[in-house]
């Protein structure tokens, strides 16, 4: 294959309009926010003693919170986009077959995408440090909030890996790659759609200091998905990325390192 025959240049045959794209993406955001507000109200209404919960109970509550949010957002996409019309096989595809196929094996290309993302982010960090004269600023607020749970017990670690390595990748890749990126290919070339969806993905994390790294990661996720047209590819990359961080920090915590100090110094 050469030129425009490469999978990463092929567009999806998107059947819905820009109005549907806007409505669905907006509804996904609203459902995510409303889920959090409803859960907060429920905690207040039932007078749950959050401050008195054990670390394991807090981790289980976070897992439940992420599970509900994931189900709500995926339900919006299913109700507004997937269910109303028949779609071809390359829409919202989660196919475990032929993981090592050279053309579109989801596990093979997950490895390629992950290695590429790591190399690109390392090069980006070195370049920023070279031109700015200092290490690029990184936001660690999200991880800092999770620090009490990291390495505290098997239950807490399992819940955190479930959140970061299963639920979050499933939710974010379905929304940003499976829906947004694919929808944009109706009007834009696929590589441009990859870059725009990567920028939206990075901005959606609300950590300005990590925008360059998240943009590079989102770009790798998008091109990997374009190659295989199988959402298991970006989900696997995202899962290995997220859970790898949690497991590494857990290991360092168990070895006696002050991981909060390490995060703030990185």
Residue 141 has pLDDT above 70, yes or no: no
pLDDT at 238 over 50: yes
Is pTM beyond 0.95? Reply is: no
Measured distance CA(143)–CA(131) in Å, rounded: 27
| Res 144: pLDDT | 66
User: Model confidence over 214-234: pLDDT tens digits?
Assistant: 999 999 999 999 999 999 999
- State the DSSP string of 47-80: T--GGGS-HHHHHHHHHHHHHHHHHHHHHHHIII
Is the distance from CB of 81 to CB of 20 less than 8 angstroms? yes
- The winner for highest mean pLDDT among 41-45, 80-84, 133-137, 195-199 is 195-199
Place of tokens 């990359």: 237
| Residue 257 vs residues 110, 144, 156, 243, 250: alpha-carbon distances, Å | 31, 15, 19, 19, 10
Distances (CA, A) of 136 to 126, 214, 262, 265: 9, 13, 15, 11
**pLDDT confidence of residue 222:** 97
The predicted pLDDT at position 133 comes to: 58
Cα separation of the two ends of the chain: 42
């Amino acid at each position: 294959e050469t030129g425009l025959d490469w999978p990463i240049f092929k567009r999806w045959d998107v059947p819905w309009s820009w109005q549907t794209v806007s409505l669905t993406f907006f509804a996904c955001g609203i459902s995510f926010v409303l889920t959090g507000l409803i859960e907060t109200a429920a905690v207040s209404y039932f007078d749950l003693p959050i401050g008195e919960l054990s670390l394991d109970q807090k981790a289980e509550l976070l897992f439940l919170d992420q599970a509900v949010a994931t189900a709500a957002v995926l339900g919006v996409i299913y109700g507004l986009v997937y269910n109303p019309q028949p779609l071809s096989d390359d829409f919202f595809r989660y196919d475990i077959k032929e993981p090592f196929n050279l053309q579109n094996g989801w596990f093979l290309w997950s490895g390629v995408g992950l290695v590429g993302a790591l190399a690109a982010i390392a090069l980006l960090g070195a370049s920023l440090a070279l031109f700015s004269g200092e290490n690029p600023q990184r936001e660690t607020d999200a991880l800092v909030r999770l620090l009490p749970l990291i390495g505290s017990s098997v239950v807490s670690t399992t819940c955190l890996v479930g959140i970061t390595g299963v639920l979050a990748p499933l939710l974010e890749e379905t929304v940003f790659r499976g829906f947004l990126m694919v929808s944009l290919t109706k009007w834009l070339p696929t590589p441009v759609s990859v870059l725009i969806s990567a920028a939206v993905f990075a901005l959606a994390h609300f950590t300005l200091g990590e925008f360059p790294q998240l943009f590079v990661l989102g770009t790798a996720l998008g091109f990997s998905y374009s190659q295989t047209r199988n959402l298991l590819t970006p989900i696997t990359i995202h899962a290995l990325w997220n859970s790898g961080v949690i497991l590494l920090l857990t290991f360092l915590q168990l070895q006696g390192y002050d991981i909060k100090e390490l995060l703030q110094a990185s």
